[in-house]
């Protein structure tokens, strides 16, 4: 122990105080010592001076050692308390322990004094660090839960999708409290826009980027209707936003799919940045994949090839289904061999359950994910949107 220990000695007998001081000197403990023997001086010292340890005689003329213990544990529980006594009854020790005493010593055996001081002071430091860590953890958790409320307020209500498309489902399962995946829904006249996006990472960093993405997409939809044009402008705006950071990670950005569905003609215009569109025609035996532009939103050009986003138009018929999703579902490890589910198996799965109602499809996919994952950790946020015309 190298730090100076500020000891507050509660002792009315000068001779006993001198004996204790000699033992401290012999042990070469770095310490300061202040002696008090009445309650008023004791409380004042605790409140106005730095005290690392209280050593108190059991028997005092004006107030007892048990009262000294009770006071320090009530005012400053982190300060350790050692009781010093000539003799002590078992019920007295029990009373002290109930008040939080850390150790006790007999006056005729002070050889243990240095080790007792080292033990209780070190123990209290560890307890204080644990308490500080617990508080820090609570503060962080509270902040993340508040961020979840903010993100939840920005995301469209899950019921909004069913309102726009009665035959639909939304499977949204963040890996952490907040999500880096996000979805967005908006109806402008006869056009309904659906967005599914996967921001860099998950948790808090991804959540911040998702909020930025939703805000900018919402603004763009006031002025533009073509999905490719929205992606082009979103790419510029996300790059400009991220370039303001002096600690820019060149991988920051998002993969995203945007669909604009014409409710009058059942035509679907789609553009994607690294996220495809899957279409399942009624009675079809395989998924039709509309490939995305191989270019992420917001990423530096050297990591994201300089290609233009393009919109593709698909004519849908009653009974056809389409799916937007991020990579979390297909990339989940699990099964008998602990491998990824894979996009191929995901496609086959959707074909297998195509005759089910869309709400039932969503429930089935959620249950299958749990079964596939079993005890494995969820590795990423999961977002799957399914719509049947």
Q: Give the CATH number of domain 5-131.
A: 3.40.50.2300
Is a pLDDT exceeding 70 seen at residue 300? Answer: no
Beta strands in the chain, from DSSP E residues, in sequence order:
5-10, 31-36, 53-57, 81-85, 103-106, 168-173, 181-188, 191-199, 254-262, 267-273, 277-280, 288-290, 312-315, 321-325, 333-334, 339-340, 382-388
pLDDT band at 304 (very low <50, low <70, confident <90, very high): very low
Q: What is the pLDDT of residues 94-105, one digit of tens each?
A: 999 999 999 998
Across the range 340-362, mean pLDDT stands at 96
Judge: domain 157-388, CATH 3.60.40.10: yes
φ, ψ of residue 160 to 5 degrees: the values are -65, -40
Asked if residue 1 has pLDDT above 60, the reply is: no
pLDDT tens, residue by residue, 101-120: 999 989 888 888 888 888 88
pLDDT for the residue 213: 94
Query: What's the confidence (pLDDT) of residue 243?
Result: 79
Question: Region 4-32: what's the mean pLDDT?
Answer: 88
**Domains of the chain: which residue ranges?**
5-131, 157-388
How does residue 306 score in pLDDT terms, banded at 50, 70 and 90?
Answer: low
Between the ranges 22-36, 257-271, 305-319, where is the mean pLDDT highest? 257-271
pTM above 0.85, yes or no: no
CA angle in degrees (0–180, nearest 5) for 254-259-260:
135
Strands 181-188 and 168-173: unpaired
Instruction: Using DSSP, state whether 333 is helix, strand or coil.
Output: strand
Around Cβ 47, how many Cβ atoms within 10 Å?
10
Strands (E), 38-142: 53-57, 81-85, 103-106
Q: Per the structure block, which two tokens stand in for 74?
A: 């009530």
pLDDT confidence of 202, banded at 50, 70, 90? low
Whether the predicted pLDDT of 22 surpasses 50: yes
- Which has the higher per-residue pLDDT, 248 or 23? 23
């Amino acid at each position: 122990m190298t730090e100076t220990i500020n000891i507050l000695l509660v002792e009315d007998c000068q001779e006993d105080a001198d004996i204790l001081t000699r033992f401290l000197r012999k042990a070469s403990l770095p310490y300061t010592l202040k002696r008090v023997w009445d309650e008023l001086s004791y409380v004042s010292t605790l409140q106005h001076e730095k005290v690392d340890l209280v050593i108190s005689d059991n028997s005092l003329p004006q107030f007892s050692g048990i009262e000294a213990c009770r006071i320090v544990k009530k005012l400053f529980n982190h300060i350790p308390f050692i009781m010093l006594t000539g003799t002590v009854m078992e019920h007295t020790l029990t009373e002290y322990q109930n008040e939080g005493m850390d150790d006790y010593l007999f006056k005729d055996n002070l050889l243990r004094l240095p080790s007792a001081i080292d033990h209780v002071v070190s123990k209290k430091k560890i307890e204080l660090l644990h308490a500080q860590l617990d508080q820090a953890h609570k503060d962080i958790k509270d902040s993340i839960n508040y961020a979840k409320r903010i993100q939840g307020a920005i995301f469209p209500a899950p019921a909004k999708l069913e309102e726009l498309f009665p035959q639909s489902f939304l499977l949204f399962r963040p890996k952490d409290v907040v999500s880096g995946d996000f979805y967005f829904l908006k109806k402008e006249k006869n056009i309904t826009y659906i967005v599914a996006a996967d921001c860099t990472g998950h948790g808090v960093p991804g959540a911040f980027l998702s909020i930025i993405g939703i805000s900018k997409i919402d603004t763009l939809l006031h002025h533009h209707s073509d999905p490719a044009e929205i992606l082009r402008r979103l790419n510029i705006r996300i790059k400009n936003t991220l370039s303001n950071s002096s600690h820019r990670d060149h991988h920051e950005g998002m993969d995203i799919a945007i669909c604009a569905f014409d409710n009058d003609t059942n035509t679907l215009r789609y553009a994607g940045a690294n996220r495809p569109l899957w279409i399942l025609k009624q009675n079809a035996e395989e998924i039709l994949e509309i490939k995305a532009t191989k270019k992420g939103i917001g990423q530096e050009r050297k990591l994201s090839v300089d290609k233009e986003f393009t919109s593709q138009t698909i004519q849908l018929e009653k009974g056809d289904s389409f799916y937007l999703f991020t990579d979390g579902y297909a990339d989940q490890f699990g099964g008998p061999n602990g491998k990824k589910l894979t996009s191929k198996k995901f496609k086959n799965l959707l074909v297998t359950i195509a005759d089910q109602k869309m709400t039932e499809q969503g429930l089935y996919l959620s249950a299958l994910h749990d079964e596939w994952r079993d005890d494995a950790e969820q590795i990423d946020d999961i977002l799957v949107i399914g719509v049947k015309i």
